[in-house]
Amino acid sequence: MTVTGTGNAPDVVDVVALGESMVTFLPARPGRLADVPSFHRSIGGAESNVACALAAAGHTTRWVSRVGADGFGDHLVEAIGAYGVDVSHVRRDPSRPTGVYFRTAGDRADDAHEVAYYRAGSAASAMSPAGVDLDAVRAGRVLHLSGITAALSPDCLALMRELTAPRPGRPLISFDVNHRPGLWGEGRNPDVLLELARGADIVFVGEDEALQAWGLRGARAVREALPEPEIVVVKQGKGGAVAFDKDTDGLCEDADGTATFVRALHVDVVAAVGAGDAFAAGFLSATLRGLPVRDRLRHGHLAAAATLTTPGDLTTPPPRPLADRLAALDAPAWETLRLGPGWTDADAEAAEEAPTP
């Protein structure tokens, strides 16, 4: 797959990301939300996380969204802009608030993990085809979207349908399913996420969320349900990820002619939040560089490892020379590589010599 521009407009960027971001409150210490006495303020949003990570990796990016005309909206725009992301097309809504959420320090997969969202009626939920600058949204080589936006409101769903509809000269559409059961609620059908994914060019979906949202079991079943996208990446947690590609490149580690599987890295996890967004950013960065599918998956795993070994949702990706060197390892070296906190600050040779499990 070759990524091309969308025209000669002077404001064309590598990646545009559209979606809601919220101010995140991270606990000062472990424990139930009821017991945590104080929180540290941060930012969180699947699409803006991808834009920030790509900007930190040297790509030009834009975040398009809607925030309240309040202090939290100021903070989001300033914090995301500080990564080098173009935030000039974020609209301010004087009648709706910026969304916020609180979470516990534990892993999301842990039964004790708690998240409290305060996003109902947020400014971002008012996004619509008429309420965003569609030219600015489409002025990228890649447009990155997620299923979270579709769940926010009927207007947001209409916007997602507009952006994923076939049209001449549209950017390459990247879609992260990001199924959030709590956002859909009773009586709302997440099958619409399957519809949107079928309109994309690159799809990211977890094997677990495909089962939960659509009843699809296994990576092959996901690909069969999504025949249209050029690439479907099915993430298999700690096992790895498999990419189904219409244009296989012959550099598969474990391939049957249409699928490339790359094992996940051994990582000393600090916090498991934000790894999926980092994976998408690493994969898209490698896609923009024209790397083969195997290396795109490896760069996704490396970017995820950078986030997994830090406490926040968002971290600086590994330096490109280091990531390129690690991505080029032979299969045995890749499978025995182990990464821990601070690995992105080490040189490549030191990272390669990290202890194996």
Distance CA 188, CA 181 (A): 10
DSSP state of 86: B
Instruction: Confirm whether 277 is a catalytic residue.
Output: yes
Distances (CA, A) of 68 to 96, 148, 322: 6, 19, 39
Distances (CA, A) of 16 to 114, 257, 340: 31, 32, 31
Residues in contact with 261: Cβ distance below 8 Å, sequence separation at least 6, in sequence order: 240, 241, 242, 243, 252, 253, 254, 255
> Which neighbouring-strand residues pair with 44?
22
Residues 271 and 311: beta-carbon distance below 8 Å: yes
Amino acid letter at 338? R
Closest CA to 148 of 284, 283, 50: 50
- What is the dihedral sign for C-alpha 150, 154, 158, 159? negative
Residue with tokens 């994976």: 279
Residues 283 and 299: beta-carbon distance below 8 Å: yes
Q: Out of 14, 86, 201, 277, which one is annotated catalytic?
A: 277
Q: Using CB atoms within 10 Å of the CB of residue 154, give its burial: 0 to 12 exposed, 13 to 18 middle, 19+ buried.
A: exposed
Q: Using CB atoms within 10 Å of the CB of residue 4, give its burial: 0 to 12 exposed, 13 to 18 middle, 19+ buried.
A: exposed
Distances (CA, A) of 272 to 43, 65, 104, 267: 16, 25, 12, 11
Instruction: Report the catalytic residues.
Output: 277
